[in-house]
């Protein structure tokens, strides 16, 4: 197995593009420097929750502003069970370590047609209206 070069470690995608275009290191370095000041797309701004069956914690890596705020508040209030592990202010991501007992994932079933209609009628009675695009 070949060991990765420093260029591959920094940005595998740009490295692959440089190799495909057969332009080598100069192209790679130029594009990598350009990307350092570029904003990430919404698709590149991920939230990743990692753990293993043997761990007692979750690692939560996110760009999501609301989630970062909630995690920061929780870490401030409960530092024994949640802490900021790392932060990259340049691109806007944070990584937290959270005890498994403190984080849950909830799946919700979709509304049945009957329940959706009842919720819609209830909203109409209370003065809520559907959003319209336009």
Average pLDDT, the chain: 79
Cβ contacts of 102 within 8 Å, gap of 6 or more:
74, 78, 81, 82
Cβ contacts of 30 within 8 Å, gap of 6 or more:
none
Q: What is the pLDDT of residues 60-94, one digit of tens each?
A: 999 999 999 999 999 999 999 999 999 988 888 99
> What pLDDT score was predicted for residue 17?
53
Closest CA to 51 of 107, 106, 108, 101: 101
Cβ 100 vs Cβ 55: under 8 Å: yes
Instruction: Check pLDDT > 90 for residue 100.
Output: yes
């Amino acid at each position: 197995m070949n060991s990765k070069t420093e260029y591959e470690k920094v940005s595998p995608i740009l490295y692959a593009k440089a190799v495909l275009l057969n332009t080598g290191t100069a192209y790679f370095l130029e594009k990598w420097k350009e990307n350092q000041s570029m904003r990430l797309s919404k698709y590149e701004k991920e939230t990743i929750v990692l753990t293993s069956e043997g761990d007692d914690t979750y690692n939560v890596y996110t760009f999501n502003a609301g989630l970062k705020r909630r995690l920061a508040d929780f870490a401030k209030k409960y530092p024994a069970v949640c802490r900021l592990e790392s932060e990259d202010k340049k691109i806007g991501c944070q990584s937290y370590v959270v005890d498994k007992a403190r984080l849950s994932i909830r799946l919700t079933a979709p509304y049945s047609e009957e329940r959706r209609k009842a919720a819609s009628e209830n909203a109409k009675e209370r003065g809520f209206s559907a959003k319209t695009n336009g």
